[in-house]
Amino acid sequence: MTHRKSLLVGGLYFLLFSSLFFIFAYWLTGKEGSESGWGSGDKIALIRVEGVIVDSRKIVKTLRRYRNDPDIKGILIRIDSPGGGVAPSQEIYDELIDIQNEGEKKLIASMGTVAASGGYYIASATDLIVANPGTLTGSIGVIMELTNIEGLLQKIGVEGVTIKSGKNKDVGSPFRKMKKEERALLQSVLDDVHSQFIEAVAEGRSLHIEEVKRLADGRIFSGRQAQEVGLVDELGSLQFAIQRSAEMAGIKGRPQVVESEEKSLLTELLENRFLGQFKNTQFPVASIGMHYLFSY
């Protein structure tokens, strides 16, 4: 009887300490990923744009939340991306331009390892661009990559059959060689989208169109080179960019930085949502179309 009572008491103590541990861990991870931080006042919001840009929804949603938060005095966009889809890059750019036009919050871009093509497109919509000296940036251009497997199909005895309603409906088909007029058609579309890129950079950076055209041949620059030609304003680390954000926003001393982060594994387990989210995870795949993308 005494032994059973000891086991019961020990089990209760174990449950108590386990509960306290998980509550503390939940509080700790929640604090680290907190969007609002502790207290109120002047804050700098940090938003990360990382990897290939395939969807703008999350970034735009976060921008709008901080845009409407009176405690947020400046928004710092940390870019570590080679670019990506044309449309999502343009949608993030447009949201930044709207915030910039309101004039209530300062926008600063901090470039990491690479902030090229669509990554630079986004950065150009901010009030100040800070890059590391060795950052790879620029790559102002558009790319469309297609594949022709006609020769391979002939070798293995397979014939591709296409039924279409218009002569240009299968432009870029992998089953046949591209005609000269079809290449010209696609080139005209890419040239127009390239012009949109140039116009966006000229508007965002307050540069003349001809100045941007001179640099918009798809070439990349180091951060230091980009500063020399006017594509980057200052050189420095993320911490330097945070301090510059505070200065531009009129915040004295060390600024409070808030960041909307993905919940940790522990947090997800505690909320009993991890397994359900994992089951519904969709992994991005390469898409066909035009891209503001630097391949390296």
Neighbours of 248 (CB within 10 A): 17
Assess whether pLDDT exceeds 80 at residue 61: yes
Q: What is the DSSP string of 234-264?
A: EE--HHHHHHHHHHHHT--SSPEEEE--PPP
> What integer pLDDT is reported at residue 282 of this predicted model?
38
Domain ranges of the chain: 30-143+209-269+288-293
In the three-class reduction of DSSP (H, G, I as helix; E, B as strand; rest coil), residue 266 is classed as helix
Closest CA to 55 of 89, 32, 22, 18: 89
pLDDT in tens, 160-212: 888 989 898 889 888 889 999 999 999 999 999 999 999 999 999 999 999 99
Share of the chain above pLDDT 90, in %: 60
Average pLDDT on 21-48 reads 58
> pLDDT-based confidence at 71, cuts 50/70/90?
very high
> What integer pLDDT is reported at residue 148 of this predicted model?
87
Closest CA to 24 of 266, 258, 265: 266
Angle in degrees, 0-180, between the axes of helices 86-102 and 180-205, rounded to the nearest 10: 20
Class of domain 30-143+209-269+288-293: alpha beta
Q: How many helices (H) and strands (E) does the chain have?
A: 11, 10
Show which residues are catalytic: 117, 169
Query: Model's pTM, two decimal places?
Result: 0.77
The pair of structure tokens assigned to 42 is 């002047």
In the three-class reduction of DSSP (H, G, I as helix; E, B as strand; rest coil), residue 73 is classed as strand
Count how many Cα atoms sit within 13 Å of the Cα of residue 126 in the half-sphere of its side chain.
31
Residues whose CB falls within 8 Å of the CB of residue 6, separated by 6 or more in sequence, listed in order = none
Assess whether pLDDT exceeds 70 at residue 251: yes
